[in-house]
Amino acid sequence: MAIVQLPPEVAVKIAAGEVVERPGSVAKELIENAIDAGASRIGVEVEDGGTGLIRVTDDGCGIPAAELELAFARHATSKLRTAADLEAVPTLGFRGEALAAIAAVAQVEIVTRAADEPVGVAALVQDGRIVRLQRRAWPGGTSIAVRSLFHNAPARLKFLRSPAAESAYFGQLLAKFALAYPALGFRLLMGGTAALDSPGGDLMAALVAVYGPAIARQLLPVDADPVGPVAVAGYVSPPTLSRPNRNHVTLSVNGRIITSRTLQHAVAEAYHLALSSGRHPYAILYIRLPPADLDVNVHPTKAEVRFRRDRQVFAEILRAVRGALSDRGLISAVTTPMELPATDTPAFRQPELDLTIANGASSSSSPSETEVRPPVGRATILRPVGQVNDAFIVAEGVQGIYLVDQHRAHERILYERILAARDTSAQHSQLLLEPEVVELTPVQAAALDGALERLAALGFTLERFGDRSCLVRAVPGPIRGGKPTLAPATVLRDVLDVAQDLDEHRWWERAAATIACRSAVMAGQTLSPAEMRELIGDFETIGSPPLCPHGSPTLLHLGYSHLLRQFGRS
């Protein structure tokens, strides 16, 4: 096939696909433009998950009428002049692609007035071309309405998530902006209802607006003195306050909201052993470093960055967060090695053990070369003989010694019981003595409306109580063998966080896993011999599955044949 030059309309749609990945991408680009324009208040309106309408209004400096047409041209920007400027970009936007990309896949209407102009200007842009331009009275700032998103890109529409899921993403996005820029006011309307209203002021006011006062008052300040060019500040939650995903970890680097596995790993490492597997803290961290040490020109969405000294940034975040926790006695002050996650780090070699998951393959070489397979069938009848570190039950069986993770095994037991109760329509509720008002984040509030029927089937009885809260009258009944009463706020928030935009079968699996995790005995909990026998017996009753609902091992097996070889016995 011959090489040809792509027509401009095709090239711009390809470029638009890199910038406008989903409806929320439109809001992100327009909000960043508003911040760069010096806005103090930013309002966002969303309808139909963003495909019907996205309107962003700000009180920034506005666009001069003479420059409006140029603003919709590709690679036209007021924020860069030379290639050298890329070495230290002071603004959020700089590529000059956002408005052109949005206008290529949607209908855009803009009204704006520059501060030094007596009247504003309005324009209608279709398929990347301005089709109407006229003067209009306007108080100042800019309002951009985006309608019929992806109307000319049906393939994009086909791959969007449900309107409820896309709406939830807007809530998450605005929450992160409100936390990253607490001095600015942010208001989000979804379907005409206020989902978020952060007044602008100090960080605590933004935390209350996003998470509610009950959570905000528990957060801990991070204010470590910098020991180098990297400074870290913000708030984190105590280990007792956690979520089932990383959605509530917000990272701002030089004022830019970013996604970074390295920095998220640093936060997780700070909570090493303080949080159980699959749990994550609330965190809003502001990282400051020399602009020359940060490369923001990595991806058109500008969400990814590169650090010149990533190990130093990792270490400073780890030190700052760990300091905030250890100063309050929440974790040990003894530190673990500050290491970046890496695949090429040589494994620490220990003496070889015939240690496998249940009756899977045994180890015949170093741990890094061991192939671990799930067992076939179920473990033999086990006899508990003790508990190690209040976390593992040591049990004896015909085929050897078994180490059972008490939390994961109990979690799997309760998970199976919840699903069995659902299949037999035996799910029941426990009425609360007093109804409890539960404050929700914007994302959780958006997810609630679409999940009311499923939550009722799970055992919740609740009703709306304002825009950002609900009244809980009953919770899923106590699971046999689980904790007697579940905290309504904790469980409801967890279920809303992890079970968005799933089909019914997967929703039940995720919801059951969430409740089981919250109900199971925890590592660090001392069990009596009778409790250990009951847990092991229940575990065998469900077939001794090798994995917990989250996919982590439930038990390990040390075979007698290996013990005999190690002691030189035949």
CA–CA gap between residue 451 and residue 465 (Å, rounded): 16
> Hey, what CATH topology would domain 218-326 get?
Ribosomal Protein S5; domain 2 (3.30.230)
CA–CA gap between residue 431 and residue 428 (Å, rounded): 10
Give backbone dihedrals phi and psi of 252, rounded to 5 degrees, phi first.
-120, 120
Interhelix angle 23-36/163-180, rounded to 10 degrees, is 20
The Cα-based distances of 455 to 359, 472, 476, 481 in angstroms read 38, 11, 9, 22
pLDDT per residue over 473-492, tens digit each?
A: 988 875 555 666 667 788 88
The Cα-based distances of 212 to 272, 426, 468 in angstroms read 27, 35, 9
Percent of the chain with pLDDT over 70: 80
pLDDT per residue over 139-179, tens digit each?
A: 999 999 999 999 888 878 888 888 888 888 999 999 999 99
Helices of type H across 459-528: 488-498, 504-519
pLDDT per residue over 492-532, tens digit each?
A: 888 888 766 566 777 888 888 888 888 899 889 999 999 99
Rounded mean pLDDT of the chain?
Answer: 82
Domain 8-160 matches domain 218-326 at the CATH topology level? no
**pTM of the complete model:** 0.70
pLDDT of residue 350: 38
> Hey, what CATH topology would domain 8-160 get?
Heat Shock Protein 90 (3.30.565)
The Cα-based distances of 257 to 178, 265, 278, 308, 389 in angstroms read 11, 16, 23, 18, 40
DSSP state letters, 343-392: SSSPPPP-----EEETTSPPP-S-GGGPPP-PPSS-PPP-EEEEEETTTE
Site of tokens 């016995």: 569
Q: Does 340 have pLDDT greater than 80?
A: no
Distance of alpha carbon 266 from the chain centroid: 15
pLDDT of residue 474: 86
Domain boundaries, the chain: 8-160, 218-326
